[in-house]
Amino acid sequence: MGYEPVLFESGDIPFKQDLSLDESCYKEIENSHMQILIIGGNYGSPDSKTTDKPKNKDEKMYQFFNSITKIEYKTAIEKGIPVFIFVEKQVLAEYETFKHNRENPSTKYAHVDSINVFKLIDEIFAQKTGNYIKGFEKFEDISSWLKEQWAGIFAEYLKNNRNKIEIKALSSKINELGSITGALKEYTEAIMRKIQPDDYEKLIDEEDKRIEAEKAISFRNESMIMYIIHDGKIKITPTQIYKHFKSADTLEEFVAKLKIKDEISKYK
């Protein structure tokens, strides 16, 4: 699919001499662009910090412990790395049974070797964002859905890149207009002082307000600004956007004032 997976089983992870094997895996997560979490019936091995490890199948089924896979997932979440989550449909179906029998240790489960699988799913659903779980039966279910998601991410990147170009073009146009307006303003004031020396300051002030209003309208009608206004993600009025633009010395400062820096930086 055009990406290079980093797999423990394939020896892709550089193990550090001063770290345990699983801690090396967690460090490598930080270098990844995304994580694909596939949850099946096998919960996995306990992490190196688990002291009371289960000794048999019964203990593994009901005793709480953190698996390496779970800590890898939590590491990705803490670092803000996008996670695409897949759960076998049989496990998802049995998860519904678990939700009604949480406190019943006698419940037998056919599709998992530990109820910690269900508790991990609990934690995923408890996340405020990035908690979508896709059920799957075969590999093709995973690959086809990932293609759709990655196509959407690429489209969003292109849109944001186009928006950044439009912002730069808008900034250039405003600066050019400002230079022209400044020169015309000086000429006009010089003429007004000679023609109407008594009330030229009042007339100039009124003209300044009119010009500023026209600039604000022109600014609002720019396609990028219209997108920001109608997108709905930023709760801000057109007047506030214009004030931020006027007070910003750079494009980066303007973007930061609008609080959309994080949205744009995801697709750099």
- pLDDT at residue number 266: 42
Q: Are 44 and 70 in contact (CB under 8 A)?
A: yes
- pLDDT at residue number 37: 92
The residue among 8, 98, 91, 94 whose CA lies nearest residue 43 is 91
CA–CA gap between residue 197 and residue 211 (Å, rounded):
22
- pLDDT at residue number 267: 37
| 140 burial level (CB within 10 Å; 0-12, 13-18, 19+) | exposed
The residue among 109, 146, 140, 116 whose CA lies nearest residue 54 is 116
State the sign of the Cα–Cα–Cα–Cα dihedral 102, 106, 108, 114.
Answer: positive
- pLDDT at residue number 95: 95
- pLDDT at residue number 264: 43
- pLDDT at residue number 40: 94
What is the DSSP track for 192-208?
Answer: HHHH-TTTHHHHHHHHH
- pLDDT at residue number 74: 92
Q: Regarding beta strands 83-88 and 35-39, do their DSSP bridges make them parallel or antiparallel, or are they unpaired?
A: parallel
Give 94-128 as a 3 state SS string: HHHHHHCCCCCCCCCCCCCCCCHHHHHHHHHHHCC
For residue range 212-223, what is the model confidence (pLDDT) as tens digits? 788 788 877 877
Return averaged pLDDT per consecutive 10 residues of the chain, 268 residues in all.
Answer: 55 62 81 89 90 86 91 91 93 94 88 94 90 91 88 81 73 71 69 68 76 80 75 73 80 73 44
- pLDDT at residue number 189: 67
Q: Lay out the sheet containing 83-88: strands in order across.
A: 35-39, 83-88, 133-136
CA distances from 82 to 32, 132, 154, 172 (A): 9, 11, 14, 35
Global pTM value: 0.57
CA–CA gap between residue 61 and residue 45 (Å, rounded):
12
The residue among 26, 11, 40 whose CA lies nearest residue 112 is 40
What is the DSSP-derived secondary structure letter of residue 45?
Answer: P
CA distances from 171 to 2, 13, 206 (A): 37, 45, 26
